[in-house]
Amino acid sequence: MTTQTLHITGMTCDHCATAIEKALNALPGVSAHVSYAEGIARVKASAANNTQQLLDTVQAKGYGVSLAEDDTSTPVAAGSGDGLHVAIVGSGSGAFAAAIKAVEHGARVTLIEGGEVIGGTCVNIGCVPSKIMIRAAHIAHLQAHHAFNGIPLNRPRIDRAALVDQQQARVEELRHAKYESILESNPSIHLMRGMARFKDATTLMVTHKDGREKSVQADRILIATGASPAIPDIPGLSDTPYWTSTEALSAEQIPEHLVVIGASVVALEMAQAFLRLGAKVTIMARSVFLSKEDPALGEELVSVFEEEGARVLLHTVPDSVTHDGKEFILPSKAGEIRCDQLLVATGRQPNTDRLDLAKAAIETGPNGAIVIDTHMRTSVPHIYAAGDCTDQPQYVYVAAAAGTRAAINMTGGDAALDLSAMPAVVFTDPQVGAVGLSEQQAQAQGIETESRTLPLENVPRALANFDTRGFIKLVAEKESGRLLGVQVLAPEGGEIIQSAVLAIRNQMTVKDLADQLFPYLTMVEGLKLCAQTFTKDIKQLSCCAG
């Protein structure tokens, strides 16, 4: 009898492992055990069974397979040749974008994931479930608060558990379609389960769930470990059952009174969603709403939230937090606040503290973010990083773009990531959309600017919708008229902003923008109207004036 270890790629669940194990054990003289968690098969076979027969059996089931030389060797995918070996720590959008592109360029990839599921934050506990929840809350709000005569208002009864079931079903569907199925169909990407840390600049140590360790050596390494909620140092907070966005998104009950600590993207999106689903909501902001954006955006959002019934406390954080078994108690300069649920949404912290980056001499910033250049290179030439664990903006589309470019560079190419026209969207209602420089940012760089702000009451589509909350603001270089930045607060502001991105990317002037054809009765027409205000009084123009 001989004992061999096979590395298997493409498994997505224990059922896959069971199917492979059954196929191997059907061979005469073979005793096999397949572990989905480890991605391996341990096979005892008689001399009559050659190695190729074992490999062929696994491949016939639709999985990638290779023979391990020993228990600490790095797997080499069957059919991948002698291509560059890339190890990627993480399995989110940046990691998968890099893996796919690296394989396209002839590399073989080992993807290392320490969590229970693959796919990272966005699909599992971030973008996808939050936007589903926000949309559901928007539908509920419209039923009770629309502005159209002749359609009765109705305050719906919310079945939060049913909403969560639907939400999570879509999450699982997208995780399979965009992540698990890629592993199933791409044998050059090997998934290894376990927590990775650096042993040195060329070696990763991976600790499996059962405590076993395995070393992985690679020609190139990409760190794409994402970020986690940052928890403020408020006395007593850590001893209470507070929520982060993860718990809030999966909660099957709507709180009677929710206090939200934070006033940036996640805090405001979650606060408004719970408000519209029926909770009483209090927001405690360390400074102001959206403190990194143009002040006008935050100021108007405060008015929107207060009109919808939220209590907004600016420049106010709890002095301490306690929980008496039933309620949270938060003393502050605004007085003592009591609530049945507390959501902490004060930003996200890069997941780098368990990687032993110092052993590889990888430079990090004060908050643990990995410092990278425009080519995603770290301070160590053959080690790259992408996504929320770096000092780049924490957006999923930035992570994916960075992962793709990192893979190109790791495999001999030359690709940079230009973030000068990077859009940002906050999915409140109205939505915030921003790109380029705000007026304050441009002036801080010594650029003389000219700007115009167009209230939505001047946009025909907003009038037709009976919803004129918000504005569009254009910031231009005064001498040339070149568009520098756009800030939008409007329903579907996230859809409007991409046209502004293209205008800035192509260095258009406000005159260029004003001269474009925009379809009438669209919200994006507001960009043209705002551009026209640099030279005209649009109140004196007819409808669709060119």
Q: Which of 11, 192, 339, 376 is catalytic?
A: 11
Q: In what order do the strands lie in the sheet with 337-339?
A: 322-323, 328-330, 337-339
Contact 92, 175 (CB under 8 A): no
Cα gap 125→139, rounded to integer Å:
21
Q: Which of 16, 270, 410, 422 is catalytic?
A: 16
Angle at 333 between CA 329 and CA 335, to 5 degrees: 45
Q: Which of 36, 63, 179, 395 is catalytic?
A: 63
Q: Which of 122, 376, 410, 422 is catalytic?
A: 122
Q: Confirm whether 13 is a catalytic residue.
A: yes
**Could you identify the residue written with the tokens 């603001």?**
473
Q: Confirm whether 63 is a catalytic residue.
A: yes
Q: Confirm whether 544 is a catalytic residue.
A: yes
- In this structure, what token pair is assigned to residue 505? 């990317």
Query: For residue 77, what are the CA distances in angstroms to 19, 46, 67, 85, 304?
Result: 20, 24, 9, 10, 55
The strand pair at 40-45 and 2-9 is best described as antiparallel
Q: Confirm whether 122 is a catalytic residue.
A: yes
CB proximity list for 356: less than 8 A, separation 6 or greater: 197, 198, 199
Phi, then psi, of 359 in degrees rounded to 5: -70, -20
Q: Confirm whether 389 is a catalytic residue.
A: no
Query: For residue 488, what are the CA distances in angstroms to 196, 499, 520?
Result: 42, 12, 19
Q: Which of 1, 36, 127, 530 is catalytic?
A: 127
Cα gap 304→347, rounded to integer Å:
22
The residues carrying an active-site annotation are 11, 13, 16, 63, 122, 127, 543-544
